[in-house]
Amino acid sequence: MSPRRSLRCALPLAFLSLCILCAAPVLGQATRDSDAERRARELGVGASSGRDTGGRDRPRSAAAETNEGAPLTERETVVHVLNRLSFGQTPGQVDYVIKMGWQTWVRQQLDPSSIPNDRVESYMTSQQGWSDMSMGDIFRSYRPAYSSSPPSDEERDARNRNRERIRRELQEATLYRAVYSERQLEEVIVEFWRNHLNIDQQKDDVGYLANHYEEQVLRRFAFGKFEHLLLSSARHPAMLIYLDNIVSQKPLTEREQRLVERYESRDNIPRSIRALGRQRGLNENYARELMELHTLGVDREYTQRDVTELARVLTGWTARWSDGSSFGQARDRDGNLPTYGFYFREGVHDPNNKRVLGSFLRGGGEDQGIMVVRALASHRYTADYISRKLCRYLIRDEPSEALVAEVAKVFRDTDGDLPKVYEAIIFSEDFMY
**Taking 70 as the threshold, does the pLDDT of residue 26 lie above it?**
no
Query: Quick check: 432 pLDDT over 60?
Result: yes
- Per-position DSSP letters for 219-260, written without gaps between them: IHHTTSBHHHHHHHHHTSHHHHHHTTGGG--PPPPHHHHHHH
Check: CB of residue 225 under 8 Å from CB of residue 189: no
Q: How far apart are CA 308 and CA 311, in angstroms?
A: 5
Asked if 22 and 11 count as a contact pair (C-beta separation under 8 A), the reply is yes
Half-sphere exposure of 186 (CA within 13 A, CB side): 25
**In contact, 37 and 57? CB cutoff 8 Å:** yes
Instruction: Write down the pLDDT at residue 269.
Output: 79
Give the pLDDT of residue 256.
Answer: 66
Q: Looking at per-residue confidence, does 42 or 237 come out higher? A: 237
CA–CA separation, 31 and 163 (whole Å): 44
Asked if residue 153 has pLDDT above 80, the reply is yes
Confidence check: pLDDT of 201 > 50: yes
pLDDT for residue 130: 95
pLDDT, greater one: 96 or 264:
96
Contact 32, 80 (CB under 8 A): yes
DSSP-assigned letters across all residues of 118-186: HHHHHHHHHH-GGGG--HHHHHHHHSPPPSSSSPPHHHHHHHHHHHHHHHHHHHHHHHHHHHH-S-HHH
Report the range of poorest mean pLDDT among 18-27, 163-172, 276-285, 324-333.
18-27
Q: What is the pLDDT of residue 225?
A: 98
Q: Which residues pair with 317 in a beta bridge?
A: 344
Q: Is it true that the peptide bond before 150 is cis, omega within 30 degrees of 0?
A: yes
* Poorest-pLDDT segment among 7-16, 86-95, 142-151: 7-16
Query: CA neighbours within 13 Å on the CB side: how many for 195?
Result: 19
pLDDT surpassing 60 at residue 323: yes
Rounded Cα distance between 242 and 207, Å, is 10
Select the more confidently predicted residue: 257 or 345: 345
* Complete DSSP assignment for 24-75: ---SS-GGGHHHHHHHHHHHTSS--TT---TTTTS---HHHHHTSSSPPPHH
Note the pTM of the prediction, 2 decimals. Answer: 0.82
Angstrom CA distances, 138 to 126, 221, 272, 341, stand at 16, 21, 36, 12
How high is the pLDDT of residue 268? Answer: 78
Instruction: Answer for the pair 235, 242: CB distance below 8 angstroms, yes or no.
Output: no
Of the chain, the percentage scoring pLDDT greater than 70 comes to 81
pLDDT average, residue stretch 404-411? 98
- Dihedral (Cα; 264, 270, 274, 275), 10-degree rounding: -150
**pLDDT score recorded for residue 25:** 32
Work out the pLDDT band at 273, boundaries 50, 70, 90.
low
